[in-house]
Amino acid sequence: MSRVLHIGLILGMLISSAPFLNGQKLWAEVEVDKNSVYVGEPVQVSITVYTSTWFTRGIDLGNLRVENAFTVYFRPVSTTKTDAGNTYAGVQLIYKVFPYTQKDLLFPELNIQVESPEEGGYRGITQNVRSKAVRIRVKPAPATLESEDWLVTPGLRVSETYSKSLNDIRVGDVVERSVVRNADETVADLIPPISWDSVDGTRMYLQRPSVENIKGRTQFSARRTDRVQYLFEDEGEVDFPEQVLYWFHPSRQKLFKKTLPSHTVYVAANPDLGMLQTIRDSLSLMESTDSMESIEGGGKKSWTQWLILAVAGTSVFFFAFVIYRRVPIWRANRSERRTRYFKSESYAFKQVLHFAKNPDSKEHANAVYHWLDTLPLHSPTLEAAFNQGNQPPRTLVEMNPSAWRSLRKALDENRASKTSDWINP
């Protein structure tokens, strides 16, 4: 009886090691280039399957889903490994994994189907090999940077364009501003949107951004284009503030920034100011249409749809213009609005800024005292303005555009703190 039991145990051991009875060795290894990463920082995961014979069919798992992360799969690569004098053929599958939340990642255990012949054989046999799961710790973005601006990339290239020259702008013109960012080793979904600053004297209309992932044989990059349209509504100087874009270099562990310069635009008068409302309505309609399509996940319009929209928009614009030009009361209202605007404090102050480039000129002095006449001061003098704004007195030559804005802001704050029905136009 004991002899039968002994033989049974030996048979059981042989059966349990059946994949190695023919001498073939087949296994999988998983490697990561980092055990911890920041949110948005890629980690490379390499899955390699080895055999002591060869593979009769390629291995391709495609793109894998990793919870709380984007994954990018590159092509399989043939490799070899030498161990104890034996050489093993291998196929390596490389993935880049990009965490998008502050939650640790678990690259899953995989059941990999391969086709490889036994030792001494030539016909491939389908077999399954399991790889181990790997956990990766995800670190939050540094507290010194707002999470909305967080971008991890070893290289960022930025370009900015305007649809129209800023040297020839009139009231009612529409200019589209585009900022294109090309980032290495990231996906387009991780490039944060630009936070556009409002610009005095304009109305801003956000446009739908465009994104693109660019995959090479061994490299991966992404492109995002953010666009905004500005409708110029006021005559005079308009200041576009500088735009600062940040990114974090993962291997150098440093934060970098790219600054898009500020622009000052002089907006000339336009006799057809009454068309502003029609332009506003058209831009608002286009903006709301883009927003609805983004929410509903609609695809791109066909060229026929764009043609219909273009013809309809042009027709509405033309008939509105004809009707507007033919109705006397509208023309009168337009003239009245223009007259009020040229008498306003806002226009007077813009003239001050315009002539402040030549602070010792007669035109500058005239513009300053005309602006003082529009303010509710005890006396229309520069000294009274400094006193009411709680600022030290200075001469006209010492006042640059920045100083004029500071004085005006101080006057506004002084009036806001007191009981007054004065409103800054």
Block residue for tokens 């389908």: 126
Q: Show Cβ contacts of residue 49 under 8 Å, excluding neighbours closer than 6 positions.
A: 26, 27, 28, 59, 90, 91, 112, 114, 129
Which range is most confident: 4-13, 191-200, 387-396?
Answer: 191-200
Secondary structure class of 332 (helix, strand, coil) = helix
pLDDT at 187: 93
Q: Which of 231, 240, 228 lies closest to 193 in space, CA to CA?
A: 228
- Report residue 69's pLDDT band, with 50, 70 and 90 as the boundaries: very high
Residue closest to 201 by CA, chosen among 409, 346, 353, 339: 346
Find out whether 150 and 248 touch, Cβ atoms under 8 Å.
yes
| Per-residue DSSP letter, 279 | H
Residue 328 has pLDDT above 70, yes or no: no
Give the span between the Cα atoms of 249 and 108, in whole angstroms. 28
Residues 281, 268: Cα–Cα separation, whole Å: 22
Q: Which of 257-261, 317-321, 334-338 has the highest mean pLDDT?
A: 257-261
Question: Residue 6's pLDDT is what?
Answer: 44
pLDDT for 275-322, tens place per residue? 545 555 555 555 554 544 443 344 444 445 556 566 666 665 665 555
Q: What is the distance between the alpha carbons of residues 74 and 69, in angstroms, rounded to a whole number?
A: 16
Percent helix, strand, coil in the chain, to 5, is 30, 30, 35
> What is the C-alpha separation between 34 and 96, in angstroms, rounded?
11
Amino acid occupying residue 112: I
- Cα–Cα separations (whole angstroms), residue 95 to 98, 213, 336: 10, 15, 67
Confidence at residue 322, expressed as pLDDT on a 0 to 100 scale = 55
pLDDT at residue 424, rounded to an integer? 32
pLDDT at 19: 44
CA atoms 65, 66, 72, 74: torsion sign: negative
Query: Residue 61 above 60 pLDDT?
Result: yes
Q: What is the pLDDT of residue 2?
A: 44
